[in-house]
Amino acid sequence: MDDISTFLQIIFWGLYAGCIYILLATGLNLIFGVMKVVNFAHGEFLMIGAYITATIFLLTGINPYVIMLVSMLALIVMGAAVERLCFRPILGTGKLNEIFLSIGLIYIIQNGAAIIWTDEWQSIRSPYNGITVPIGTLDVPLDYILIMIITAAILCGLYLFIRKTTIGMQMQAASQNRKGAMLVGIDVERIDVVSFGLGCALAAAAGTLWVVSGQVFNPYIGSIPAVKAFAIIILGGLGSIPGAVIGGLLMGLAENGAAYLLGGIWKDAISFVILIVVLIVRPTGLFGEKED
Amino acid sequence: MLTDRDRLVKYGSIITVVVAAVLPFLTDNMFIINLLVLMLIAVIFASAWNLLAYSGQGSLGHAAFLGIGAYASTLIAAKAGIPPLVTVFLGGAVAAFIGILIGLTCVRLKEWFLAMVTFGFAIIVQTLTVSVLAPVSGGWDGIASPRIISASVAGYQTIEYYIVLAITLLSLFAIWYIMKSKVGLAFLAIRENELEARAAGIDPVRYRLLAFAMSAYLAGVAGALQIHHIGYLTPELYGAENSFWPITYVILGGLGTLIGPVIGTVVLTIIWEGLKETGMTFGRYVIIGVILILTIIFLPRGLVSLPEEIKAWREKRGRRAGTETQIPAK
C-alpha cells in the first residue's frame, strides 16, 4: 500500500515538473522554429515571470492564477524588447554567437533580478494551499491539478492560435521556409517578434506555475530548467510541439524517479545523462533532421 | 614581411612579458600579487577554451576540466606525496583523458548540441564528485590542497607568481605553435567548412578530439594551479560561472586569436576589481553582461580588432569628407 502511494507521489511530482518543462520547451520550440535562434537565457524569463506574479500577489492579494495573465503580458513586452535589441542584430551570424549572447543575457537578467528582489530564497502560499483532492489512496493538492489543467489549456490555446489565426499561419510559413514566407509578403521580422514574445509568455506561465505550487524561488532558478528544456527539444524533435509535450512529461517522470531511486542530488544530472546517451546513439537527436 | 599588426603584436608581447616579469618588484602588496597569480591562471584557462573554439567547438562546461584537473592533482599530491608542481601536469593529463572521452560523444554533434552536452557534463561531474566520489573528494565540504610553495618559505607568493608566469608563457607558446602548425590549419579548415576540409583529406573527428584533449589538458593545469594556489578545493569549482568566465574573456579579447584571451582577461579583471572597489555586488555581473553583448554586436572580433576598426572607420570618414569637398568643386 505504501509503495503504491509513493509511486503515485513520484508520478504526480513528475507530471508537475513535466508541465513546467513542457511550457518552457514549447516556447523554445516556437522561437527556434521561426528564428532558428538558440536562446540559452530562456529560463531567465521563467524566473522573471515567477517574480512578477509573486510580487503582484504579495502586494494586492489577487488570485495568482489570474495574475499569470499580467505576468505573461509583461513578458511578451520584455521578450519583444530582447529580440529587437539583442538577437535581431546578430541574426544569421552563427549559432555560437547566439549562445554567447545568451550568456550575457543570463548575467544581466539574473543579477538585475537579484538587485531588485535580492537573492534570498522566497516562496508564496497559493490561496488553495492545503486543499487536497483524493485520487485513489493519495491526497493530491488542488494546486497540482490546477497546474496540469492550465498547462493543457495553454497548449490547446496555442494550438488553435497557430492553426487558425493569420499570424499563427504566418508563423508556420516562416518556420517552414523563411525566404518563401518573405516572398509571399509576410513581414518575417514582425513574426520573429511575435514568436519570441509568445515563447517568453509561455515561460512566464511556467514561472507562475512554479510559484503557485509553493516551490521556493530565487533569481538563479531558471538556468537549469531551460537547459533541460533544450535537452527535451533535442530528444523530442526540433519544432515539434507533440514531441515537446511527450519529452517534457517523460523528463519530469524520469528525473523524479531517479531522484527517488538514486537520491535527490541526481535530479539534475540524470536529464543530461539521458541526453548524452541518446546523442551517442543518435547524434541528430531522436527525431532530428539532417539539415541545420 | 611584417605587417603593422604583426609588429604591434610582437612588440606588445615583449613589453607585456617584461612588465609581467618586473611587476613583483614594483609592489610588495600581497593582495595584488595574489590577484596577478589568479589573473595569469585565468589567462591559461581562457586560452584553453579559445583553442577549442578555434576548432569550431564552443564548450559551455569547461569548468568540468578545471575541476577534474584540480581534484586529480590534489588527490595525487595528497595520497602519493608527489610535489604539487609535478602533479599539476598529471592533473592536466587526467583532464585530457576525460576530455577525450567526452569529446568522443561531442565530435559528431552540431554546435549547440555540443554546448548542451558540455554544460550537462559539468553538472554530471559535479554530481559524481559530491555523491559517489564523496569519500575521496570530501563532498560539498571539499578538501585541503597542498600549496605549490609552502607558506613557510620566505616570499613564497612571489615565487609562486614566477612559476605560474612561466607556465602561462609556456602554454601560450604551445598554443601559438599549434595554431601556426598544420594542426592549427586543420582546425581552421574544419571550423570554416567541414565538408571541404574532409575533401582535402582532413579527418574532422581526429582533429576535433585532438583539440578537445589539448584544451582539456590546459584547463586541467589551470584548475590545478588555481587550487594549489588557494589551498582549498570545493565542488563549486564546477559551477556554471566558471564555465562562463573564459567565454566572456575570449569574446571581449577576440575569439580565435592568440592574444585575444590575454587582453580580454587582463581588461575584464581590471574592470571587475575596479567595480569591486565601488562596493557593487550583483551590479558587477550586469555590467559584465552588457559588455559581453555590446562586444558581440558591435565588435564581433573583439578588442584585438579595435585598431583595425578604428583605422577603417577613419578611412571611411576621410573618404566621406573627401567627397563632400569635391561636390562644391563640381
pLDDT in tens, A131-154: 888 877 777 888 888 999 999 999
Distance, CA of B123 to CA of B64 (rounded, Å): 8
Three-state DSSP at B296 gives helix
Burial of A285 (0-12, 13-18, 19+ CB in 10 A): buried
* Cβ contacts of B121 on chain A, cutoff 8 Å: 272, 276
Q: Which residue of A has its CA nearest to B124?
A: A269
Pair A162, A172: CB distance under 8 Å: yes
Note whether A236 and A202 are same-domain residues.
Answer: no
From the CA of A38, how many Å to the nearest CA of chain B? 8
Pair A187, A30: CB distance under 8 Å: no
What pLDDT does A132 receive? 84
Of A221, A238, A269, the last residue of a domain is: A221
Q: Which CATH architecture has domain B26-298?
A: Orthogonal Bundle (1.10)
Say which DSSP state A122 is in: B
Note whether A66 and A128 are same-domain residues.
Answer: yes
* Partners of A135 in beta bridges: A138
What pLDDT does A290 receive? 47
Q: pLDDT of A211-227, one tens digit each?
A: 998 889 999 999 889 88
- Check A89 against B297: CB less than 8 A apart: yes
Q: Is residue A188 part of a domain?
A: yes
Pair A252, A18: CB distance under 8 Å: yes
What pLDDT does B329 receive? 46
Terminal Cα-to-Cα distance of chain A (whole angstroms): 50
- Check A99 against B116: CB less than 8 A apart: no
Q: What is the rounded average pLDDT of the residues A66-80? A: 95
Closest CA to A202 of A238, A173, A161: A161
Longest dimension (CA), chain A: 63
Terminal Cα-to-Cα distance of chain B (whole angstroms): 42
What pLDDT does A268 receive? 84
Q: Which residue of A has its CA nearest to B125?
A: A269
B153 touches A: beta carbon within 8 Å:
no
* Cβ contacts of A230 on chain B, cutoff 8 Å: 112, 116
From the CA of A127, how many Å to the nearest CA of chain B? 33
Three-state DSSP at A204 gives helix
What pLDDT does A2 receive? 63
How many separate helices (H) and strands (E) can be counted in chain A? 12, 2
Distance, CA of B81 to CA of A16 (rounded, Å): 51
Q: pLDDT of A84-114, one tens digit each?
A: 999 999 988 888 889 999 999 999 999 999 9
* Cβ contacts of A268 on chain B, cutoff 8 Å: 123, 127
What type of residue is A130?
G
Say which residue the cell 578555434 belongs to. B54
Q: Is residue A281 part of a domain?
A: yes
Note whether A40 and A148 are same-domain residues.
Answer: yes
Closest CA to B169 of B7, B6, B21, B5: B21
Pair A56, A70: CB distance under 8 Å: yes
Tell me the backbone φ, ψ of residue A193, rounded to 5 degrees. Answer: -60, -45
What type of residue is B56?
G
What pLDDT does A14 receive? 87
Taking CA atoms, A131 is separated from A60, A141, B179, in Å, by 22, 6, 65
Distance of CA B193 to the CA centre of its chain: 25
How many separate helices (H) and strands (E) can be counted in chain B? 14, 2
pLDDT band at A289 (very low <50, low <70, confident <90, very high): low
What pLDDT does A287 receive? 66
Note whether A151 and A211 are same-domain residues.
Answer: yes
What pLDDT does A204 receive? 96
Domain that holds residue A147: 22-221
Burial of A128 (0-12, 13-18, 19+ CB in 10 A): middle
- Check A111 against B130: CB less than 8 A apart: no
Of A202, A221, A240, the last residue of a domain is: A221
Strand A138-141 versus strand B143-144 pairing type: unpaired
- CB-nearest partner of A107 from B119, B288, B296: B288
What DSSP letter does each residue of A50-75 carry, written as one string? HHHHHHHHHHH---HHHHHHHHHHHH
* Partners of A133 in beta bridges: A140
Q: Where are the domains of chain B?
A: 26-298
From the CA of A39, how many Å to the nearest CA of chain B? 10
- Check B60 against A271: CB less than 8 A apart: no
Let me know the angle formed at the C-alpha of A215 by B280 and A275, rounded to the nearest 5 degrees.
90
Tell me the backbone φ, ψ of residue A179, rounded to 5 degrees. Answer: -65, -40
- CB-nearest partner of B120 from A94, A111, A275: A275
Pair B68, B223: CB distance under 8 Å: yes
* Cα four-point dihedral sign B269, B270, B272, B276: positive
H-run or E-run covering B26: helix B4-26
- Check B120 against A276: CB less than 8 A apart: yes
- Check A111 against B247: CB less than 8 A apart: no
Note whether A211 and A140 are same-domain residues.
Answer: yes
Note whether A203 and A259 are same-domain residues.
Answer: no
Distance, CA of B253 to CA of A196 (rounded, Å): 30
From the CA of B148, how many Å to the nearest CA of chain A? 33
B60 touches A: beta carbon within 8 Å:
yes
- Check A272 against B121: CB less than 8 A apart: yes
What pLDDT does A1 receive? 45
3-state helix, strand, coil in chain B (%, to 5): 80, 0, 20
Distance, CA of B139 to CA of B132 (rounded, Å): 9
Distance, CA of A222 to CA of A203 (rounded, Å): 10
C-alpha cell at A291: 539539415
The C-alpha R_g of chain B, in whole angstroms, comes to 21
Distance, CA of B259 to CA of B168 (rounded, Å): 12
Note whether A195 and A124 are same-domain residues.
Answer: yes
* Cβ contacts of B63 on chain A, cutoff 8 Å: none
Please give the interface size between A and B, counted as residue pairs whose CB atoms are below 8 Å apart.
132
- Check A111 against B282: CB less than 8 A apart: yes
CB B279: neighbour CB atoms within 10 A? 8
- Check B113 against A234: CB less than 8 A apart: yes
Q: pLDDT of B183-205, one tens digit each?
A: 999 999 988 888 888 898 899 89
Mutation target to probe the A interface, by most A beta carbons within 10 A, among B124, B130, B244 is B124
What type of residue is A138?
L
B176 touches A: beta carbon within 8 Å:
no
What pLDDT does A291 receive? 45
B300 touches A: beta carbon within 8 Å:
yes
Note whether A67 and A187 are same-domain residues.
Answer: yes
Note whether A166 and A276 are same-domain residues.
Answer: no
C-alpha cell at A220: 538563479
Q: What is the mean pLDDT of each run of 10 residues along chain B (330 residues)?
A: 68 82 79 91 96 91 95 93 92 95 85 87 92 88 88 83 94 93 92 88 91 96 95 91 94 92 94 90 93 94 88 84 53
Q: Which residue of A has its CA nearest to B241?
A: A107
Q: pLDDT of A229-242, one tens digit each?
A: 988 888 887 777 88
What pLDDT does A37 receive? 87
Q: pLDDT of A255-274, one tens digit each?
A: 888 888 888 788 888 888 88
Distance, CA of B124 to CA of B258 (rounded, Å): 31
Taking CA atoms, A136 is separated from A9, B50, B306, in Å, by 11, 57, 68
What pLDDT does B138 receive? 87
Note whether A178 and A212 are same-domain residues.
Answer: yes
Pair B57, B114: CB distance under 8 Å: yes
* Cβ contacts of A251 on chain B, cutoff 8 Å: none
Say which residue the cell 585532438 belongs to. B210
CB A107: neighbour CB atoms within 10 A? 26
From the CA of A233, how many Å to the nearest CA of chain B? 11
Note whether A214 and A247 are same-domain residues.
Answer: no
Say which DSSP state B232 is in: E
Burial of A142 (0-12, 13-18, 19+ CB in 10 A): middle
Pair A65, A205: CB distance under 8 Å: no
- CB-nearest partner of A112 from B124, B286, B291: B286
Say which residue the cell 530528444 belongs to. A235
Number of domains in chain A: 2
Distance, CA of A96 to CA of A101 (rounded, Å): 9
Pair B269, B39: CB distance under 8 Å: yes
- Check B120 against A271: CB less than 8 A apart: yes
What pLDDT does B324 receive? 53
What pLDDT does B330 receive? 41
- CB-nearest partner of B123 from A112, A272, A280: A272
B101 touches A: beta carbon within 8 Å:
no
Note whether A85 and A157 are same-domain residues.
Answer: yes
Closest CA to B291 of A219, A101, A112: A101
3-state helix, strand, coil in chain A (%, to 5): 75, 5, 20
ipTM of model: 0.89
* Cβ contacts of A89 on chain B, cutoff 8 Å: 297
Q: Is residue A34 part of a domain?
A: yes
* Cβ contacts of A40 on chain B, cutoff 8 Å: 60, 115
The C-alpha R_g of chain A, in whole angstroms, comes to 19
Burial of A51 (0-12, 13-18, 19+ CB in 10 A): buried
